[in-house]
Amino acid sequence: MALKQLIEVQATSPATLLPVSVIVAARNEASNLPRCLESLRSVGEVYVVDSGSTDATVEIARSYQAKVVQFHYQGGWPKKRQWAMDTLPLAYDWVFLVDADEALTPELAEEIKQAIQNPHIAGYSVALQMYFLGRRLRHCGASFYKLSLFRRGKGHYECRLRDQDTSMCDMEVHEHVVVQGQSGRLRHPLVHHNVESLSRYIQKHDEYSNWEARVLLEGETNPGGLQPTLFGSQAQRRRWLKTRFYRLPGSPLLLFLYRYIFRLGLLDGVPGLIYCGFQAMQMFHTKAKIYELRTKRT
């Protein structure tokens, strides 16, 4: 065996694998998936949970030796990632949720390897290092934490709305994982490539605004979920602020000014301008759909 091949075998031997089960939710992610799965070569197992992709998503996943399963959403609850957590025969005690447009760095992998040795922690929040239109967004208020690493059986998605349909996206959008036990934060981020094309970005966020309009209009049914509060975690603060911000007249314009001026999105160049504009436009779409839903019920 050549020296290079020997090194590759040793690098991915069971003794050196990161002992976590990764779940990657995907649908038509052929352009993002190679980068994602290449970064996950050092983990114990990878499941790609597909939803009938019409591109090369499944073939790409199998070429990286990922385990591919199909999820056929019929509406309601659970959605894709919770279904995967409830159904798949996961081999490891820790679950790591990774989106198809995200990538694990060697620094984060090493930190995870150390962090999961702590017997007192049930889950960890991981920051996102955001890239948009090929540029890293250092401003715009684009970076945030999400709880995506947790002990198997100790984490579950909150159900914010049980009555859902296929127009509202087949996987969890702004639901959060809630863990039973103490949680912590990791220092190193996941790399998040937020957009493969603006057309795809708009298509996905159209579904997201359908979902958000229903949640904001009908209220939440998640007594065991993440409770909005100004003095809680980052996710709780963001939810508390969002529910109040939507009530303000002209809130899409205010959101744009907040991200682009106050959070210095203008320093991120044209990608920063487009990102801030799209964030404000999604809020406008959501508010418009809330109005539409109300008029249909009168």
Q: Which domains occur in the chain, in start order?
A: 17-296 (3.90.550)
Instruction: Report whether 192 contacts 268 (CB < 8 A).
Output: no
Residue 8 has pLDDT above 50, yes or no: no
Q: What is the mean pLDDT of the chain?
A: 90
pLDDT digits (tens, 9 = 90+) for 51-96: 999 999 999 999 999 999 999 999 999 999 999 999 999 999 999 9
Instruction: Report whether 178 contacts 158 (CB < 8 A).
Output: yes
Q: What is the DSSP string of 180-223?
A: SS-EEE-SSPEEEE--S-HHHHHHHHHHHHHHHHHHHHH----T
Higher pLDDT pick, 256 / 203? 256
Q: Name the pLDDT band for 15 (thresholds 50, 70, 90).
A: low
Q: Please give the pLDDT value at position 188.
A: 97
Least confident of 65-74, 183-192, 194-203, 245-254: 194-203
CA 113/CA 76 separation, integer angstroms: 36
pLDDT digits (tens, 9 = 90+) for 36-59: 999 999 999 999 999 999 999 999
Least confident of 88-97, 104-113, 175-184, 187-196: 187-196
pLDDT digits (tens, 9 = 90+) for 123-162: 999 999 999 999 999 999 998 899 999 999 999 999 888 8
- Name the most confidently modeled range: 43-47, 174-178, 222-226, 238-242: 43-47
